[in-house]
Chain A
Amino acid sequence: MEENLKWLWYAFSVAWVIHLLYVVTLGRREAKLREELEALRSMVEDRGKK
């Protein structure tokens, strides 16, 4: 019983580690995209003024 509980715990942990890693990468990607978007918007604005 206890031996099998170990496998259940491993499977559960792996499943949620996959999701957590994905959510973390989503957050990092969003921050990076937002930064790039702002930089490009201000670049377009500057060039437009010139």
Chain B
Amino acid sequence: MKSQSDWIWAGVTAVMMVTALYLTFVWVPMERTMGVVQRIFYFHAPPFFVAAIAIVVSLVAGIRFLVTRDFRFDELAVASAELGLVFESMNLATGPFWARPVWGIWWTWDARLTSAFVLWLMFVGYLILRRAVDEPTQRAVLSAVLTVFQAVGAVIVYLANRLWRTQHPQPVIAGGQGSGLHPDMWLTFVFCTAAFMVLYLCLLRHTRRLERMRREIEGLRRTVHSL
């Protein structure tokens, strides 16, 4: 059953998403070299930043679980990691549609793209691990440890085109001298990131609730077996 706050979250997300679409497709100025295809940037880069935030949430929740052994933190960690996979998939899936017309190829194994793919595999690995381990405490501990590697992976993805020569464009955000965006493009990028962030928070409420239900089911199964 949906609560009033669920509807408020859904409403705010919908309004922000529609505004983000307006900014992306209508308001933001056309990039001179790439033209209309550059607009993919506004729903390619923000999902990566949201996936990175999802990892931070998962990492902090995992560490808190290790300290307190409170399973509510494990619920938050897995709910956030699952959403991280969704947003990282969105980031990976949209990139090739920009690369094909601009580079003439769908994909290349440069440092940025490869590290992003490895990060995606880590998300998949995390969820496989959750299904593979039955004992709840062991599962939560192993997941928390894996999240540390994910966090390192996300940092490597972020730094890849700063540390190595890549086919992927050089950074336009915090990229140093000569980089940067037109103020309207910057505003659109920031707004799109905020909209995806609100979408993440809206979905996180739901996935957390599902994890709570799953944990309750595990508890009830144990009770049924012991009766």
Contacts and interface: CB of A to CB of B under 8 A. Distances in A.
For chain A, what secondary structure do more than half of its interface residues adopt (helix, strand, loop), or is it mixed?
Answer: helix
A44 B227 contact: yes
Contact of B210 (A5, A11, A29): A29
29 contacts: A1-B36, A3-B101, A4-B34, A4-B37, A4-B101, A5-B36, A7-B100, A11-B40, A11-B43, A12-B43, A15-B43, A15-B93, A18-B89, A19-B86, A19-B199, A22-B203, A23-B203, A26-B203, A26-B210, A29-B210, A30-B209, A33-B210, A33-B214, A36-B217, A37-B220, A40-B217, A41-B220, A44-B227, A48-B227
Interface string A15-36: 1001100110010011001101
A29 B97 CA distance: 31
B220 A44 contact: yes
Given A14-B97, A18-B86, A33-B210, A8 B37 contact: yes
A20 B209 CA distance: 19
B53 interface: no
Contact of B216 (A14, A15, A18, A37): A37
B40 A8 contact: yes
Interface of B: 34-37, 39-40, 43-44, 47, 86, 89-90, 93-94, 97-98, 100-101, 199, 203, 206-207, 209-210, 213-214, 216-217, 220-221, 223-224, 227
A15 B86 CA distance: 10
Interface residues of A, number: 28
A4 B30 CA distance: 12
Contacts of A43: 220, 224
Contacts of B44: 11
Contacts of A47: 224, 227
A4 B36 contact: yes
Contacts of A11: 40, 43-44, 93-94, 97-98
B14 to A, nearest CB: 12
B223 A37 contact: no
A14 B36 contact: no
Given A15-B90, A18-B86, A40-B220, A33 B213 contact: yes
